[in-house]
Structure 1
Amino acid sequence: MKLIIQIPCYNEADTLSLALAELPRKVQGFKKVEWLVIDDGSTDETIKIAKKCGVDHIVRHKKNQGLARAFMTGLQTCIEKGADVIVNTDADNQYNAKDIPSLTKPIVSGESDIVIGSRPITTIEHFSIAKKILQKIGSKVVQIASGTDIPDAPSGFRALSRNAARQIMVFNEYTYTLEVIIQAGQKNMAITSVPIRVNEDLRPSRLVKSIPSYIKKSIVTIARIFIVYRPFKFFMTIGSVFFISGLMVALRYLYYYLSNEGAGHVQSLILSSVLIGMGFQTILIAFVADIIAANRRLLEEIRGKM
């Protein structure tokens, strides 16, 4: 079996050599262990350092396309290079590479299709309180949307089987971490997590440029997760709120009308009509969105079999 360890990179010249120095060349269960660097349009010496450190495969984006695109490019390249198992890690050396055998073991034994490395979030000193809270909220949302019990959904340290990698298609340009788990859950893949260790913080997170920005992007990501992967429930809930609110306002108007006081409450009748109309249209959107989601799942299944 062949294992390929992929590292998405964007201007990682300062830390890449440290991360590569920790990567193993031998892992139990594999005859070959190769390294892949995905250069996401770096303007520094990332590629030069990768070559100097003996990276087996390098693929480059002509311009920066974001972490999620780099991750997907890596998966596709690993499949083309004949990988049986793929491990994804970061170029800032935040994950302890000695835990790679722990990630791959459940896949080699046939127990899992995807394994997520679970960090000790509460004890990581360089994580702010806000980030720790958002990490927990994000993981909880993913658990609800995917039907899994992964405790550290935002962790980028993960292993995928060849079959799982072929079925994954990330749409989010900000990050791939949450979406991969949700897709795995919806496709009934065997997904689990194992505890991992982390190293000292070498540089500020590229995804967390500031707490307000991180909160904003996290909220948008979480909202989009429900819209894309639970569209019927999302739109039906909103539509029902509008529709029921409209009915309540209509009943209020009907009460005053039967009490011969309806003339002074025409505004309630107008508001009721607007709310019921909005609710009805949103409920219709729920059905249309559900059909689109079903079509997307069919396309993903077809892609996985190609």
Structure 2
Amino acid sequence: MTKLIIQIPCLNEAETLPTTLAALPRRVEGVDTVEFLVIDDGSSDGTAQVARQWGVHHIVSHRRNRGLAAAFRSGVDRALAEGADIIVNTDGDGQYEGADIAALCQPIIRGQADIVIGDRGVADNAHFSAPKRMMQRVGSAVVQGLAGTNVSDAVSGFRAISRDAAQRINITTEFSYTTDMLIQAGRKKMAIATVPVRTHAAARPSRLFKSIPRFIMHTGITMARAFTAYKPLRAFVGTGSLIAFIGLLPILRFLWFYAQGDGGGHIQSLVIGGALLVLGTLVAIMGMVADLVAANRKLLEENLARTRRLEDQLAAIHRASREAGPETGSALKRKDAA
């Protein structure tokens, strides 16, 4: 039995949430069960109560606002605990067309993808301003290069994730999960697909960021952290080599004047060049150490994925035990122990 859970991270979405929920599909081809999950990220307007009134199956509540990335992580953890085979993430402001969730899930249902990104057609989307379209295109191009993927709308929050992919992805950023997830998925050789999706005009200004410069800064930091974590050797050795090369220039300058018999007046070039050369070497060595740490992190992530699979098996046994009754449940447990 295939279960789809549609999760909606929310911050003060009591007004727009009913419209979003009404547009979500109740049935999807290839899926046996469709359930809804709302993550109330410290709302003060009764978002969780509205979700209950609309019959949302699962609700996760944060006592205070922890940010979109934390809300996304909480939703994925709860969806996995509830036995989701496919997790779809959408926004609570009604930006995305709920009917497109069916198309979003199909590549996963057919076994063609681990993660599916809803492509909003940024280049000609009438709901985006010209600066936003340009920013999205540039950001997506950078993510494509860092992740080694071909995703034209890297920051789209409308995406579907298979259970296996959700268990292997570990979001580390505190700002937005979108680029972090793609860089991780690309480096872990997951199959990533895109499908065109429809969007609606924004019902309110974004609560994720207060200004474009702030968004660019935080997204840049997120991408740099993710790339450094998964490609430390390239990041640090490349930077160290550049610093060392720059340090060679003043040293060569000193040697030139020294060969001309005028080295005494250019000692400062030798000092500066030597300092840069040492700094570049130290940065390169840091890259080697970071590469060893990255290799250890891969082992830890693999162990974490295995632990999650074991938890899935135990949860499945407990669910079967509850459904089958006390006597049959005990027999199931004995059989599994054997």
TM over 0.5: yes
> Do the aligned residues in 2 keep the contact of 1:27 with 1:101 (CA within 8 Å)?
yes
Looking at structure 1, the residues matched to 28 and 110 of structure 2 have their Cα atoms a distance apart, in angstroms, of 14
Return the offset for 1:143: 1.2
Return the offset for 1:296: 1.5
Tell me what 2:77 maps to.
76
Looking at structure 2, the residues matched to 196 and 301 of structure 1 have their Cα atoms a distance apart, in angstroms, of 33
Looking at structure 2, the residues matched to 142 and 305 of structure 1 have their Cα atoms a distance apart, in angstroms, of 28
Looking at structure 1, the residues matched to 222 and 84 of structure 2 have their Cα atoms a distance apart, in angstroms, of 30
Return the offset for 1:98: 0.8
* Matching of residues 210-289 of structure 1 within 5 Å: 210-289=211-290
Tell me what 1:192 maps to.
193
Tell me what 1:111 maps to.
112
Pick which of 243-252 and 128-137 moved more.
128-137
Tell me what 1:207 maps to.
208
Looking at structure 2, the residues matched to 52 and 286 of structure 1 have their Cα atoms a distance apart, in angstroms, of 53
- What secondary structure does 1:12 align onto? coil
Residue 54 of structure 1 pairs with residue 55 of structure 2: yes
Looking at structure 1, the residues matched to 276 and 129 of structure 2 have their Cα atoms a distance apart, in angstroms, of 42
- What secondary structure does 2:195 align onto? strand
Tell me what 1:141 maps to.
142
Pick which of 291-300 and 119-128 moved more.
119-128
Looking at structure 2, the residues matched to 134 and 278 of structure 1 have their Cα atoms a distance apart, in angstroms, of 34
> Do the aligned residues in 2 keep the contact of 1:145 with 1:230 (CA within 8 Å)?
no
Q: Whose Rg is larger?
A: 2
Tell me what 1:66 maps to.
67
- What secondary structure does 1:172 align onto? coil
Tell me what 1:34 maps to.
35
Return the offset for 1:212: 2.2
- Runs of 4 or more consecutive aligned structure 1 residues displaced over 3 Å after TM superposition: none
> Percent of counterpart pairs with the same letter?
49
Count of residue correspondences: 306
Greater relative contact order: 1 or 2 (C-alpha under 8 angstroms, separation 6 or more)?
A: 1
Superposed CA offset, 1:192-245 (max 9, x none): 111111012101111231122222223322322332222211111211111111
> Do the aligned residues in 1 keep the contact of 2:180 with 2:222 (CA within 8 Å)?
no
Return the offset for 1:183: 1.3
Superposed CA offset, 1:49-81 (max 9, x none): 101111000011122111111111111111110
CA root-mean-square deviation = 1.2
- What secondary structure does 1:285 align onto? helix
> Do the aligned residues in 1 keep the contact of 2:180 with 2:223 (CA within 8 Å)?
no
Distance 1:293 1:130, change over 3 A: farther
Looking at structure 2, the residues matched to 157 and 211 of structure 1 have their Cα atoms a distance apart, in angstroms, of 21
Return the offset for 1:27: 0.7
> Do the aligned residues in 2 keep the contact of 1:145 with 1:229 (CA within 8 Å)?
no
Name the aligned partner's letter for residue 242 of structure 1: I
Distance 1:195 1:223, change over 3 A: same
- What secondary structure does 2:198 align onto? coil
- What secondary structure does 2:84 align onto? coil
Residue 164 of structure 1 pairs with residue 172 of structure 2: no
> Do the aligned residues in 2 keep the contact of 1:138 with 1:222 (CA within 8 Å)?
no
Return the offset for 1:287: 0.6
TM-score with structure 1 setting the length:
0.97
Looking at structure 2, the residues matched to 215 and 255 of structure 1 have their Cα atoms a distance apart, in angstroms, of 44
Note the residue ranges of structure 1 that are not aligned, 5 or more in a row: none
